Structure 1
Amino acid sequence: MNIGQAARASGVTAKMIRYYDEIGLVRPSARTESNYREYDDRQINELKFIRRARSLGFSMEEITRLLSLWRDRGRPSREVKAIADKHIADLDARIAEMQAMAETLRHLSHCCAGDDRPDCPILADLTEGSAPSDPPAHRPRRA
C-alpha cells in the first residue's frame, strides 16, 4: 500500500511516517519504479505499535528500544518491564510536579481578590517567585 493508505491503516500521519523512515525507526519501505514508498502489513503493525507507544508517553528513545525488543522474539520480558517501570516512575514524578503546580496556582487564585484593584498575588508570585501565605485581611476572598 502507498503512504496515504498506510497512514489510514495505522493511524499515523504520512508526515510522521516519513519522519520515522528518515530517522530509521521503521524498517525502510520498498519503493516503486517511480520511487513511491510501499508498505506491507508488517510495517503497518510497526506503525501501530509506535502510535500506541507514543500515546502512552514513551520517548522516541524508549520506543526505539521497545520496537527492537518487540521485533526480537527471543527477548527477555524483564527488559521490556524495566523500560515500562522506569516510564511509570517518570510519569509519577511528572504527575506529582503538576499536582504541586496546580496546588500553588489554586492557593494564589484563592488569595487574589479578582476585583478592579491592580494588586494581584498571582502576578506578585510570578515576579518574586514566592507565594503569599495568606491574603491581606482587607481583601474579600473569592468563593
Structure 2
Amino acid sequence: MTQKNFTIGALAKNAGVNVETIRFYQRRGLLMEPVKPFNGVRHYTERDVQRVQSIKQGQKLGFSLDEVSELLSLEDGQHCREAKNIALKKLVVIRERIEGLRTMETTLSNLVESCASNTDSVSCPIIVTLLGTSG
C-alpha cells in the first residue's frame, strides 16, 4: 500500500480546513511541519490529515487548543485516566455553561413576556432591566 503525500493545500482540503489553519496549528505545535526538501515542496501524510481532523473534533467537543494538545500527547492509548480527568473537567465547565444559559433563557423569556403584556408606552421592561433602573 502506497502512502499518500499531500501538499499543504491538499492537506487542508482533505482535512476540511484552510491553509492558514494548518499553519496556525504548526505554530502552536499541534502539527509538525515536515522538513522542506531540496525541491522546496513539503509533503504531508494521511496521518497528518487524521491529526488535523482530531484537532477539529476536539474543538467541536469544546476543548481548547491547549486541552486538545494535552489530549493528543496521550495518544498512545496508555493514559486513559489522564484523558478522562481532562474530559471530566471540561464536562463540569460545559454543565456550568448550560446552567448559565438556562438562567439567561428564563430571564429573557420572562422579559419578553413582560414586554408583550406591557401597556406602559414609556417604560420597556427589557430596557429597564438593561439600564438597571426600576422604571
Q: 1:40 to 1:122 in 2, by over 3 A?
A: same
Q: 1:3 to 1:110 in 2, by over 3 A?
A: same
Among residues 31, 51, 54, which one is paired with 1:49 in the alignment?
54
Q: 1:129 to 1:25 in 2, by over 3 A?
A: farther
Among residues 84, 93, 97, which one is paired with 1:94 in the alignment?
97
Q: 1:115 to 1:15 in 2, by over 3 A?
A: farther
**How many residue pairs end up in the alignment?**
129
Q: TM-score, normalised by structure 2?
A: 0.84
Q: Distance in 2 between matches of 1:45 and 1:19?
A: 16
Q: Distance in 2 between matches of 1:110 and 1:35?
A: 64
1:75-95 C-alpha deviation (Å, 9 max, x unpaired): 321011111111111111001
Q: 1:118 to 1:85 in 2, by over 3 A?
A: same
Task: Please tell me whether residue 77 in structure 1 is matched to residue 80 in structure 2.
Answer: yes
Among residues 7, 19, 33, which one is paired with 1:28 in the alignment?
33
User: What is the one-letter code of the residue matched to 1:82?
Assistant: N
1:105 aligned residue = 108
Q: Distance in 2 between matches of 1:84 and 1:121?
A: 41
1:124 aligned residue = 128
Contact kept, 8 Å, 1:30 with 1:39, in 2: the verdict is no
Gaps of 5+ in 2: 1-5
Q: Distance in 1 between matches of 2:40 and 2:110?
A: 59
1:52-93 C-alpha deviation (Å, 9 max, x unpaired): 1111111111101011111xx263210111111111111110
Question: Alpha carbon RMSD of aligned pairs, Å?
Answer: 2.2
- What SS does the aligned partner of 1:21 have? helix
Q: Distance in 1 between matches of 2:104 and 2:34?
A: 45
